[in-house]
Structure 1
């Protein structure tokens, strides 16, 4: 089970964002927009109400000023002191001021201030707004002596109410600066906004906890899917602790599909080579295609297979399966792929998969591993025989079976240019009619098969070509390649040197000395000095020398001797 998905984790170059986080962000944005827009509309409507309320208040204050001015006019007629009347009006006006820039004034039709009172007591107005004054005079001429008025000032725009005072012959104006009301509105707006944000953050935390709790199953499913993609392998999603909802149902459906696909993939991987499987996993189309490639071919065949089949009957399949289980493991372990299995023979291909070692080196390692694996199998059979013979001797039929299961193989390896790819039919309209197979075609394939056949003649387990010998020798000194012969196989016009790869890590050094002596005798054999060659070969305890001793007999080399032995059979 993978760890929890972190925000903005990646699959390849794609960022993975939890769906719960997306939903939460969308809800936050929508909630904030809804609250701010609602708040703004509410404030706009409230501002209208406030203006109307202020107008009502100012009308009330205007009436008080008007009444005071009428009374002060009577006092003025008695006392003649105009300054006292102005001071009285200013005091009455100041008691009604509620904002920083509230004003009350008296302006004559010609624009002269008769009295002036402001809340901050610092305002200095040189004159009254000419446009507003003209409107006041026009309304008065039309018989309108009171109403609402807007006017400008050195400090900003005002709105208010007015009433004409006929005794004094001036207009009494009570007004408020528009920005004062807007500041109040903005202050209220900010307070409400802070409350909205605070409450939103609170509910976001609560919502995140709830959403995280509800979507924990989906988060776990996402972790599993990311792990599958990284491993390129389908697995089952753990739904043991998932809630009973539609997301869990989706995961259960995925599990059912995953099991079916895994069964198909398992079958697919068993019947096709590893490079085709890797290509399919990488998401690339597998079609009819192929090209010339430089590859190494390993051909392995079970010796005396006809005898084993006649003796074991259908049980030969079980023996072959035990044998191939080890052979195929060795091929895959050394970056090879199985090209084909034909009865008792297997063709392995090297060079199609990435590897730190060369294709030839991998092939030689596989060859020796295959021979060791079959030797181990024979040792197991010998141990089994010894156990039985502790109590009784094998019967004649048991002896035949024992000999039949003592599997031995020969391995031939060659390398070179071959055609490698897929052939067959690819029906796009009806895939059921398609059938393709991965194959390798070329003389190198046939050569590997013929080299394997030479293992029986020369009584050595592995035979390789000169190209394999050269490639491995450039890479490692582990193998000493012993030249065995120069042969001209049937169907060919030129001779070809063949080699035995002596493994210095595994084989006895004294045996290497004998093979080196064999090469000295082989040199004499090539030169036509068969007398010397016979002498060397007779002094060695190598099975391969018997081939040359029988070939030479007691005769000398033919007159047209080229050192090449022509094979009469494949």
Structure 2
């Protein structure tokens, strides 16, 4: 009887535990693998849409026959895929069915690998693919992009893709092995007393395996060997239930984390340097996107006389010129660690100091402004060569505290900045036309920059509309450009000091002399006209402050 019971019970325990373990394993594997496949498919659809947009763009612009542009378009798809996939062990491939590798954004992948891969397509236009090549194992998803006569594929190393599932299998194997060993030992020691309770024990086990209900437990009738076995079995089921719930929770949290990363990348990827996006994701700080007060440098750039420009160009020419202009300006701003806040018609608003703060944000903003001012000259060379009107820009920069974060409604929300600091920067940009200067910054921005980085030409002390407190304004200059003008700029500062002191005749004489020396420096003419007015209409109380009545 003892050996008969042993021969019956041990196989039941092994089969039951194995069935539970491997059922849990395959359920977890199917769940995690399904989610991972869907996520790869989501990324591939994103890349597919991007490629379709690029293809439609060059078709609509009638540029599809340009081989260089077409090659650059394919490269841009590869670059975009690298950003979307962001995997050290995987990548993106665009290949023709004749095994021409057109786009490759992963290392150690060659035509031999792609040949093995193409065999697995089996004539399908999309789906899942697994293949081996020279000891390398890959899994991935593919879709046919008929416009370019190629197949887009996202690949991942097979071991990396199934790593979590294999770890779960090892963990389940250890638990099942330990549980079976304990159960067998208890049976061998106390089998003589296993009679009626063992039948109830087996029925409970059968009930659990048939219904796959891990919440059920073995009922313990006596505190004997059968009771101990029941106790350990219940612990094993509880551990399996906990492990299964952990697997489900892990899969859920993985999806949430990916969605969060996608949301952050979607907000910033077109307007923020890639390194900033990576730092935000590494810091895992949602608070960086919530409203907070912090010091920032606000950058406003606007095209002067844009209405005249728009009237002189055909719509398609205007769009091409604007896109070329924005591309140059935005690339410089992003390279200087600025964040593009928004485009306001032909104006650019950028933030330096959010979402990540750098010690040299003000310096970076001024440097970007000077580089933009230089870049517009190069841009205008192309405008002149094509017989188009030239662009002139004005840039205003201010530094101070502002509210930064996600601002908007449930229907539309943007990462932006608001406050008086922003308003003053906008006013300064508007003053560039009046003072005939390409760049105007506030004294608050100047004070944030270490001496010796730029030459700052003081222009005036102004009280902008809506503000009571006056602010000094400056035009920053690169040191190499200011060096030949040091004597002239010092003389200008002397004349400006005389103007501040109310010595209008002396100031006028000095400004007149400077204007004769450099008639292109139109700010001197501005001060000559002011001095003429003040000489005829002496002020009762002179502050040396120019009050602006318009925005």
**TM-score of the two chains, using structure 2 as the length reference:** 0.52
Alignment equivalent of 2:139, drawn from 251, 261, 270? 251
Asked if residue 544 in structure 1 is aligned to residue 518 in structure 2, the reply is no
2:477 is paired with a residue whose SS is strand
1:377-526 correspondence to structure 2 within 5 Å: 377-384=379-386, 402-403=388-389, 406-425=390-409, 435-472=412-449, 475-505=450-480, 507-526=481-500
Q: Deviations over 1:45-93 (max 9, x none)?
A: xxxxxxxxxxxxxxxxxxxxxxxxxxxxxxxxxxxxxxxxxxxxxxxxx
Aligned to 1:558, which of 527, 539, 549? 539
2:288 and 2:405 in contact (8 A); partners too: no
Contact in 1 for aligned 2:505/2:531 (Cα 8 Å): no
Q: Which runs of 5+ in 1 are unaligned?
A: 1-224, 386-401, 427-433
Cα distance change of structure 1 residues 231 and 453 upon mapping to structure 2, 3 Å threshold:
farther
- Residue 549 of structure 2 corresponds to residue 568 of structure 1: yes
Q: Distance in 1 between matches of 2:349 and 2:437?
A: 19
Q: CA deviation at 1:502?
A: 2.2
Matches within 5 A, 1:213-228: none
Q: Which protein shows a greater Rg?
A: 1
What does the per-residue CA deviation read over 1:144-164, in whole Å, with 9 as the maximum and x for residues that have no partner? xxxxxxxxxxxxxxxxxxxxx
Say whether the 8 Å CA contact 1:337–1:350 is kept in structure 2: yes
Q: CA deviation at 1:440?
A: 0.5
**Aligned match for 1:530, one of 504, 510, 529:** 504
Shift of 1:286: 8.3
Alignment of 1:35-50 (within 5 A): none
Pick the structure with more helix per residue. 2
1:296-311 matches, within 5 Å, as: 296-311=297-312
Contact kept? 2:398, 2:424, Cα under 8 Å: yes
Answer whether contact 1:273 1:438 (CA < 8 A) is retained.
Answer: no
Q: How does 1:273-422 map to 2 (within 5 A)?
A: 273-274=272-273, 275=276, 279-280=280-281, 289-315=290-316, 316-352=318-354, 358-384=360-386, 402-403=388-389, 406-422=390-406
Does the 8 A contact of 1:463 with 1:500 survive in 2? yes
Distance in 1 between residues matched to 2:437 and 2:424, nearest whole Å: 17
Question: In structure 1, what is the Cα distance between the partners aligned to 2:475 and 2:437?
Answer: 8
Return closer, same or farther for 1:285/1:487 CA change in 2, 3 Å cut-off: closer
Secondary structure (helix, strand or coil) at the match of 2:139 reads helix
Residue 232 of structure 1 contacts residue 281 of structure 1 at CA under 8 Å; is this kept in 2?
no
1:125-144 mapped onto 2 (5 Å cutoff): none
Q: Distance in 1 between matches of 2:300 and 2:504?
A: 33
| Alignment partners' CA distance in 1, 2:534 and 2:433 | 24
* Distance of aligned partners of 1:443 and 1:355 in 2 relative to their CA distance in 1, 3 Å threshold: closer
User: Structure 1's 323 and 229: CA in aligned 2 closer, same or farther, altered over 3 A?
Assistant: closer
Secondary structure of 1:562's counterpart equals: coil
Equivalent residues of 2:470, 2:545 under 8 A apart: yes
Match of 2:35 in 1: none
Question: 2-side partners of 1:371 and 1:272: how far apart?
Answer: 20
Question: Who is 1:126 aligned against?
Answer: none
Kindly tell me the number of residue pairs found equivalent between the two proteins. Answer: 318
CA contact (8 A) 1:466 1:499 kept: yes
> SS of 1:524's equivalent?
helix
- TM-score normalised over the length of structure 1: 0.50
User: 1:339–1:347: 8 Å Cα contact kept in structure 2?
Assistant: yes
Tell me if the contact between 2:396 and 2:429 (Cα under 8 Å) persists in the aligned partners: yes
- For the 8 Å contact 1:374–1:407, the answer to whether it is kept is yes
For 2:348 and 2:296, the matched residues in 1 are separated by 16
Secondary structure of the residue aligned to 2:446 is helix
Deviations for 1:421-477, whole angstroms, at most 9, x for unmatched residues? 112345xxxxxxx542111011111111111111100111111111111111xx240
Asked if structure 1 preserves the Cα contact closer than 8 Å seen for 2:292 and 2:404, the reply is yes
Does the residue aligned with 1:410 lie in a helix, a strand or coil?
strand
| Deviation digits for residues 345-379 of structure 1 (CA, Å, limit 9, x no counterpart) | 00111112668760010001000111111111122
Secondary structure at the residue paired with 1:560?
coil
Task: Report deviation, 1:491.
Answer: 1.1
Change in Cα spacing, 1:232 to 1:338, as seen in structure 2 (3 Å) is farther
Kept after mapping to 1: 8 A contact 2:129/2:140: no
Deviation at 1:553? 1.7
Comparing 557-566 with 332-341, which one deviates more in the overlay? Answer: 557-566
